[in-house]
Structure 1
Amino acid sequence: MTIQAMGSHKMNLGCHHSIRLAIILWIFLMFFWGELCCVAQQIRDPKFIVSYNQPKKITKLGSGHYLIDFGKSFFGTVSLSLKSNHAKDLVIHQGEKLLGNRIDRNPEATVRYQKVVMKNMLAGQAYIVKLQPDIRNTNDKAIHLPDSLGVVMPFRYCEIENLQVPIEDIELFQKAIYVEFDDMAGYFSSSNKTLDQVWNLCKHTIKATTFTGYYVDGDRERIPYEADAYINQLSHYSVDDNYAIAKRTNEYFIDHPTWPTEWLLHTAMLFYQDYMYTGDLTLIRKHYQVLKVRTLHDLAREDGLISSRSHRLDSAFMLKLGFKDPKTKVRDIVDWPPAQKDSYWKLATEEGERDGYDMGVEINTVVNAFYYHNLVLMTEIARVLGESDDAKRFAKEAEMVRTMINEKLLDKAKGVYIDGEGSSHSSLHANMMPLVFGLVPDQYKMTVVDFIKTRGMACSVYGAQYLLEALYQAGETEYAFKLMTDTTTDRSWWNMIQLGATMTLEAWDMKYKPNLDWNHAWGTAPLNTVVRHLWGITPIQPGFKQVEVQPQLGELTFSEIKTPTIMGNIIARHQQVNEKVNYTIELPEGMSGIFIVPKGYQPTKSKQRQEIIKLSSEVNKIKLRVISKDSLVDTE
């Protein structure tokens, strides 16, 4: 019995050991499977959604004549059915824009409109309005939709003429196409209703423009461009946890680079943000050698600065960059549209969107600011990939470029940057780019910021991304907030809303870009700015394992925000009453973070200034009070 007992005991020990091994193996497999599923979720092909949206409003314009408003523009077409036969021709108009109380039949620019005549419609049969494809956005360069989705166009309105049956006998839907999107993953509301409307305009833009499964430049071309995609990527991350489109688009650029110098310099920026938001090294490891080339460091002079006019930018280098045609010319863009003298359009201003930038320079300040930023990012990318020699070289080159920019492109007498080597002109762009990328020495920050504030919104909706970022990084909260919520000029997001658009425009107004479209996600800067700078929610560690929350809420007395991360949702709220403000910040499980106390405030129970408060995976409640009125406006 003892032996049996001992044997039984040994068997139990063996069973326990086996169970422990099984548990460890199970945990490992579950973790490994979870990692695989996580990566698979990130790089999966997009899931297209077909939504049938009901009309928000139907207005009778005359006998058999109706205007149907679906509330928001989507890419798609009209779906309809009737309860009785309709032998006579039914005229269907679809469009983005109204003229009076009818759809604009000649909306100009690239604002969309089509007319279709439906014949011999039978009762009980579902019909899809078949649109004519646009030659430009369905050519070989454009991103094509799956054939099963048919031809689509952006539209908000449908107008029906010659309807021979009661309007109650026809069922109409907006057949909308977009990629799977979680409407509840991100939201924002505040005490400023203009900002709320601008933010929601941008959010809808991000959802609706996913219709190709890539970040494209709008309906006119349906082609991905690096700078467009970068803003689109940051805004998409802010409201949805679908990382597949960003990854697909980034990989697209490996084989399809575009011609602007600065757009090429967005490549490393795109891949770096993918890494920071997902924690996934796959793409930066896979395309590391291409990212190195796209920094354009091969074009560097002895002093480290680069030029798109370098003799090294030859056919062989164009092929190395990934261009199929070695005769492609890389050219500096700064902003778009260009000045009137360089454009075939009739523009509202002589400067276009470049603020009079001196494009005759060989060494361009904007280009070299982007180049410096690339070197900084590549230093970090090389480090995490274990490429220590490259990391040291990139860091050394970055320091050299920083020194040379401030030695050769900074007018120290005026305290502002010039447009390029040998230029006497200083533009908004030549100053906001060094500021946003951390190039400005401390003693010149005030003069650079003061100059920037004299220029207003002298840039495009693309340039506004960097202008807003630069202002928030410099602590110019009130001025940045004023630009985002401007209701007095046509160079504003409010103007887009007033025009009747439900997606952001390609430019501030038609007079600033006569071929603009009404569905350009590169105009969504306020969306990601609110998340990343106004609320200051950004990843410190890749994959949002650690987050920084640095609110600069300006005049807002109340706001609440929800933004998704790969770890889960971050939910935050603030309420200010007199000189006290309460924050509630909820982090998902497994995430930690830091809260940067806004300047001029301190915790209510603290007698000393406290700059950082640790955040944990729970509901964090922070109570602050004003230190003094003077400290609220102190910029020292």
Structure 2
Amino acid sequence: MKKQLYLLFLLACVLNINAQNNIEQVALKTSLVKPQKITKIKEGHYLIDFGRAFFGTVQIKAKNTQNDPISFHLGEKLENPNKIDRNPGGTIRYRNATVDTLTEGQLTTVKLVPYKRNTTGAAILMPDNIGAIIPFRYCEIENLKIPIDAIEIWQKAIHYKFNDDASYFSSSNAILDSIWNLCKHTIKATSFTGYYVDGDRERIPYEADAYINQLSHYSVDNEYTMARRTNDYFMNNPTWPTEWLLHTVLMFHLDYMYTGDLEPLKKHYENLKLKTLMELERADGLISSKSPKLNKAFISKLGFKNPNTKIKDIIDWPPAQKDTGWKLATEEGERDGYEIVDTNTAVNAFYYYNLKLMAEIAGFLDKKEDATLFQNKAAITKKTINEKFLDKSKGFYIDGEGSSNSSLHGNMLPLAFDLVPEKYVKTVTSFIKSRGMACSVYGSQYLLEGLFKNNEALYGSELITNTKGDRNWWNMIKIGSTMALEAWDMKYKPNADWNHAWGTAPLNIVTRYMWGIKPKTPGFKIAEIKPQLGELTFSKIKVPTLNGMIYAEYETGKKKEAIYKIELPNTMEAEFILPDATCKVMLNDKKIKSNKTSFTLKGGKNIIKLKY
């Protein structure tokens, strides 16, 4: 009963978002994917493997006519090597359909029955000319009376425009390569609505999902309209978790850094100020979703259609067993036992980061008074967080005001958002490392960011490539998915799906932190390249930008030598930050002064040799 009430509450929250108002019509692409393998099970019964899951259906062209009905089974998961799982559990997809006849020379598309939940209410609807689609990799055909060679069959994949050649990555670690490719495919395949949606269960944009999707998308393609469309959507269609709202500023700031286009910031500046939730701020600079200021009037100002919407702290997903009613593998859900108090560390870490980015946004827009205001607010909030939530006797953070508990989340978010005083970085990172991967696939984005930003790249890389147990990306591949899962495994979220772009943290972490390639100035006029490649002996990467592609290669030499070959677009410069300041450096056969920790790369080819 508790689970049912909880699900009804969630449904009520999302249905108040009238998502089909002002939804832009999106031009989607169709790719026809040929089978990778066809297995004959028995006469007239075949299993077809298309290699990877896409959202779509099946299209057939017959050389001969068959008037008898044919049964088609489409699914993401196998029950055994020769059978699609008809009851895969959670929101893993399976659909059965019948085609009455195949006519010689005629294209036939298998018509699927839509799922009610992802085709009503707040869901982003597919265009009428596309119809119902599902994510699937496999197709079983039964009662095929004509020879299998007498039909051509394709996976009719629906997706937004995507340049497969805009990016690549390879390295000396085959596990890392496989995970990166899994994540890249996820970004393309989950673009099927033209918006960043949560996955197939709901097909609803959520800010936290969308931000990680955007980070990963911008790392593999210089196509920005899908993110722009999604960002615009959130202005009038926010979602109810406190931390989700606090991702809005992050998305707009990221877009400006990659595109250099001020128009979205100008257009939505006042709304972005609202989305920081600074109107809830106390005198000491902290906010709380329990504040009396979070009233119906403010909820309406935030963009909610229903002023009775309950804004609630979530702190990772899924929440605890007591909140969901699900029988979870860990009773605390993915929270690592985080104690949600009224004024807590996680929410205020997000709030601080919003203030910090809003100061930059105000500066970009030449709003000097606002820039100063946000800088001052950020300084006060940072000071209060470290005075009230940093347990200096232990050297790490508690979960919030009145709590004595410390969790991964209460520490990884301050670390990721640059809140931790230098004196306590070591003790905070030590605590974080003691918790392992005690967060969800969503939370891992901030865990990994914090580690890579604070000289823990080796441990961060180990988390990404870990193959032991099931709380890792290798488990997603091992159980048979070709896209990132919503959760580490079904036992951690019983209604999870196999197509969630918020699980693609390794992709953007590899690009933005392991290779360290990201914009230093808006529009990527100047790039930053700060490699932290750890134990890799070689690697290649291609990173798309608004100004062209960045190509980079790395290999270790025999005599404690590392060589980087970096090619920049002619209109771009880059700051190359040394991974080790103690090494001797040659740039294009010229010695770099030993006291430098960084230097400038010009457009064109650059060869950097480091000797240790």
The interval holding the TM-score normalised by the smaller chain is over 0.9
In structure 1, the partner of 2:500 is 520
Q: Assess if the C-alpha contact under 8 Å between 1:602 and 1:610 holds in 2.
A: no
Q: 1:29 aligns to what?
A: none
The alignment's TM-score, normalised by the length of structure 1, stands at: 0.90
Greater C-alpha Rg: 1
The residue that corresponds to 2:305 in the other structure is: 324
Query: How far does residue 46 in structure 1 lie from its aligned partner after superposition?
Result: 5.0
Query: What amino acid does structure 1 have at the position aligned with 2:447?
Result: L
Q: Distance in 2 between matches of 1:521 and 1:124?
A: 38
| 2:141 equivalent to 1:169 | no
Structural mapping, 1:40-439, within 5 Å: 46-100=26-80, 101-359=82-340, 361-439=341-419
Match of 2:15? none
- Equivalent of 2:598, from 593, 612, 628? 612
* Structure-to-structure mapping, 1:388-537, within 5 angstroms: 388-537=368-517
Is 2:590 aligned against 1:602? Answer: no
Measured in 1, the distance between the counterparts of 2:504 and 2:127 equals: 27
Aligned CA RMSD, in angstroms, stands at 1.1
Q: CA deviation at 1:507?
A: 0.3
Q: Counterpart amino acid of 1:99?
A: E
**Deviation sequence 1:508-555 (CA, Å, 0-9, x none):** 000000000000000000000000000000111100000110000000
Matched position secondary structure for 2:443 = helix
TM-score by length of 2: 0.94
Separation of aligned partners in 1, 2:317 and 2:356: 26
For residues 338 and 466 of structure 1, the distance between their equivalents in structure 2, rounded to whole angstroms, comes to: 17
Q: Which amino acid aligns with 1:266?
A: H
Residues 564-573 or 141-150, more deviating: 141-150
Aligned to 2:230, the other structure's residue is in SS state helix
> Does residue 624 in structure 1 map to residue 610 in structure 2?
yes
1:396-430 deviation per Cα after TM superposition (whole angstroms, max 9, x unaligned): 11000000000000101000100001100000000
Q: Deviations over 1:591-610 (max 9, x none)?
A: 11110011253315457343
CA contact (8 A) 1:218 1:519 kept: yes
1:394 to partner: Cα distance? 0.7
Q: Aligned letter for 2:108?
A: Y
Q: Distance in 1 between matches of 2:60 and 2:331?
A: 48
Deviations 1:172-225 (A, max 9, x none): 110001111110101000000000000000000000111100000000000000
How far 1:162 moved relative to its partner? 1.0
Aligned equivalents of 1:140, 1:607: Cα separation in 2: 62
Q: Is the Cα–Cα contact under 8 Å of residues 261 and 367 in structure 1 kept in the other structure?
A: yes
SS in 2 for 1:622: strand
Of 552, 573, 577, the match for 1:592: 573
Segment of structure 1 superposing worse, 77-86 or 64-73: 77-86
Q: How many residues are aligned here? A: 582
Shift of residue 74, structure 1, vs aligned partner: 0.4
Q: Report sequence identity in percent.
A: 60
Q: Partners in 1 of 2:608 and 2:599 — Cα distance?
A: 9
Q: Which amino acid aligns with 1:126?
A: L
Opposite residue 604 of structure 2, the aligned amino acid is E
CA distance in 1, matches of 2:98, 2:26: 33
Secondary structure of 1:149's aligned partner: coil
Q: Hey, what's the Cα distance between the residues in 1 that align with 2:584 and 2:200?
A: 49
Contact kept in structure 2, 1:235 and 1:524, CA below 8 Å: yes
1:299-349 C-alpha deviation (Å, 9 max, x unpaired): 011111000000000000001111110000100011000111222211011
Which amino acid in 2 is paired with 1:152? I
Secondary structure at the aligned position of 2:164 is classed as coil
Which has more helix, going by share of residues? 1
Contact 1:603 1:610 in 2 (8 A): no
Residue aligned with 1:461, SS: coil
1:123 Cα deviation from its structure 2 partner: 1.9
Task: For 1:542 and 1:46, locate their aligned partners in 2 and report how far apart those are by CA, in whole Å.
Answer: 27
- Structure 2: give runs of 5+ residues left out of the alignment: 1-23
